Amino acid sequence: MQDYPSLFVMGDIHGYFDVLVRQLRYAGLATSDARWTGGKSQLWFMGDFTDRGPDGVGVIDFVMRLQADAARQGGQVGALLGNHDVALLTARLFPHAPTDGPGGAFYADWREYGGTVSDIERLENKHIDWLRRLPAMALVGDRLLMHADAPYYLYYGETLEAVNAAISDLMHSGETDEWNELLGFSGERYAFDDRKPGGVMLAAQMLAIFGGKQIIHGHTPIPLLSGAPLERVTRAFIYAEGLATDVDGWICKGGAGFVYQALPIESNTLAPADARL
Ligand SMILES: [Mn+2]
């Protein structure tokens, strides 16, 4: 247990800079000016930094600075690529390219998905480069981190390294049909939902393929999976017989947000508060 990496996870921020800073300060991981106070811990963000909320670029800037400061102090801040991060990139890089999305072109689609105009105006090359390099998946200790509770990762490869390489290639390409295809997958969710047949098995299969003993994901707001009212969502939701953990506190809908500490799995058993209502 001493050797277990101290892993903290935060779900979809969606431009709510104040919630991000408040929760990181509360968890003892950062100051309001993006200095790392987490020591040797690791903190991972599940992607979807922008859209819906007012200050997505402020969120990206803060995470970039925190990442640099944590590295200087022996800690680590990691971040995954979320579908809204992909949508923002398409709106900036190929605004008029046609899509089969709701707006018919990438910029119009991004606005439909909740894109914040001031974000795209403030998006600099350093932010674009940073977003393009984000991994789609990560394995930290025995936790498999992925943005979405969806199986489409398998479309891009059969190992974690292959998926990340394929999506990184795509993020650096001008193949707009392929960007459009990736965004098309973003509506997929509920893949590991244990209320439907096959949910637990799919979670187990993803772990068998990509590694780890438990999936941690964002993307799907916890109330939609757990049935809990939003005002009571103050912690992660562990489900699929313990094989999956949702950390999306629906901040963009007014959720208070939280930082989830992923303790060793054997001590992370289902508490009564995690049970479905
Ligand atoms: Mn998402």
User: What are 75-129's pLDDT values in tens digits?
Assistant: 999 999 999 999 999 999 999 999 999 999 999 999 999 999 999 999 999 999 9
Give me ligand 1 centre to Cα 48, in Å: 6
C-alpha 133 to ligand 1 mean position (Å): 17
Q: How far is the centre of ligand 1, averaged over its atoms, from the C-alpha of 220 (Å)? A: 7
Architecture of domain 7-264: 4-Layer Sandwich (3.60)
**147 Cα to the center of ligand 1, angstroms:** 7
Residue 136 CA to ligand 1 center (angstroms) comes to 12
pLDDT in tens, 243-258: 999 999 999 999 999 9
Length of the chain (residues): 277
Please report, for the chain, the start and end positions of each structural domain, with discontinuous segments joined by +: 7-264
Q: What are phi and psi of 36, to 5 degrees?
A: -80, 125
Question: What is the distance in A from the centroid of ligand 1 to the CA of 96?
Answer: 23
Report residue 220: phi and psi, to 5°. -110, 115
Q: Report whether 170 contacts 83 (CB < 8 A).
A: no
Ligand 1 centroid vs 82 CA: distance in angstroms?
5
pLDDT of residue 110: 98
| Position 187 confidence tier, pLDDT thresholds 50, 70, 90 | confident
Read off the tokens for 69: 């400061």
